[in-house]
Chain A
Amino acid sequence: MSRAKVQRKSTAIDMTAMCDVAFLLLTFFILSAKPKVEDPIHADIPASTTIAALPEVDFAQLLVAQGKVIFSVEGADVRLETLKGMADQYKINFTPDELKAFQNLDNVSVSIGVLKQYLNMTNQERAGVAKTGVPVDTTDNNELYWWVKNARKADKLVHSKELKIAIKGDSKEEYPTIAKIIKTLQKQKVNKFGLITSLKTATK
């Protein structure tokens, strides 16, 4: 009896479909990835067991570190309206170029008094400017109050949604600074906000 011959198959596989899928996924991940915005001052955020993710739109962040507050809001359209609101509030006229520059600005790290000058700088010059943060104190008329207020108004106008506000604080930040910010938010009846934390597993 002769053995049946096993036919040898080629070991080469058709990679076309696999390649298609791989690149499709790659494209998806590249497009969904958001470039990481470098914070002007470093904040070492505390860890917690919370697993709720941050919203990506209709969202404003207050970065608190070294006693300074840095304000940022998502969305170029919301930013534009926010600055227009601030311009009315502080009677400053911004040129269209400055408005455009502000739309691309990741965060507000200087006082409104020098913002106009700051917007006219190149990126390299900006890096050299001392980041004083948005002035905040316990009075009713502090700058942070108006930034938040105008951002909320702007978001309502552009997206007709309520702006969510989150505090990103440095672990070592002393409580009075945080208390000052919470008071500022509460003055405009923002009683609910987020605290940005990194994830830690509960030691049960």
Chain B
Amino acid sequence: MAELDTSGGGKKGGGKVRSKKASTRVDLTAMVDLAFLLITFFILTTTLQKPKAMDLTMPDKDEKNDQLPVPATRTMTVLLGTNNKIEWFMGQPGNPLTAPSVTGFGKNGIRQSLLDKGKEVLAKSGRPMIVLIKPSDKSTYSDMVSMMDELNIVGNQQRAIVDITPVEVDLLKRDGIYN
């Protein structure tokens, strides 16, 4: 019919015509290559895309009675201004124990102050320093995250995000990081 006898040569005429047995083995090399390529692709795309979540705990607003007085000597206030600039001082805004100083984030910025003052407070009172973060209306979300991150890096647990007061806004204005 429409089939061709492809079995080459052979004895012509007489005897049985044997069809040639093809090997059942397939070369899988190319297939494995492809499979591993895809695996690599999927591994890279799945793990790199995972976002991380930083936990943020806000103080409970209703438990007014439980709030402990915050001793000014143990408190560091960090004001978040514009252009990723921050201003920090110890003590109360009206009567700071150290002169407010403007700095930035990172190793040479607030982190050194946090470490130094943290040690100082711990040595003096035997208890950890409390950090109050006061984001101004002009600060950005990334400033807040960076600040929380700095606290995570130095291992500070006593922190709170608090509303800024007009006195502190004036302080930021004076130092030119509120525009």
B-contacting residues of A (Cβ < 8 Å)? 12, 15-16, 18-19, 22-23, 25-26, 29-30, 32-33, 36, 45-46, 48-55, 64, 166, 168-179, 182, 186, 189, 191-199, 202-204
Contacts and interface: CB of A to CB of B under 8 A. Distances in A.
Interface of B is mostly: mixed
Contact of A178 (B39, B141, B163): B141
Interface residues of B, number: 48
Contact of B137 (A18, A22, A173, A174): A174
Contacts of A172: 140-142
A22 B40 CA distance: 10
B31 A19 contact: yes
Contacts of B28: 15-16, 18-19
Nearest to A174: B140
B61 A195 contact: no
Name the residue among B36, B43, B136, B145 with the largest chain A CB count within 10 angstroms. Answer: B145
9 smallest beta-carbon distances between A and B, as pairs: A15-B28, A194-B53, A22-B35, A29-B42, A171-B142, A46-B142, A48-B149, A50-B54, A169-B141
Contacts of A16: 28
22 contacts: A19-B35, A25-B35, A25-B39, A26-B35, A30-B42, A46-B142, A46-B145, A48-B52, A48-B152, A50-B149, A64-B141, A170-B141, A172-B141, A194-B53, A194-B55, A194-B56, A197-B52, A197-B53, A197-B54, A198-B52, A199-B52, A203-B106
B60 A48 contact: no
B16 to A, nearest CB: 31
Contact of B139 (A18, A25, A175, A192): A175
A171 B140 contact: yes
A139 to B, nearest CB: 16
Contacts of B141: 46, 64, 169-175, 177-178
A18 to B, nearest CB: 5
Contacts of B49: 36
A4 to B, nearest CB: 30
A191 B39 contact: no
B46 interface: yes
A171 B50 CA distance: 18
Contacts of B38: 26
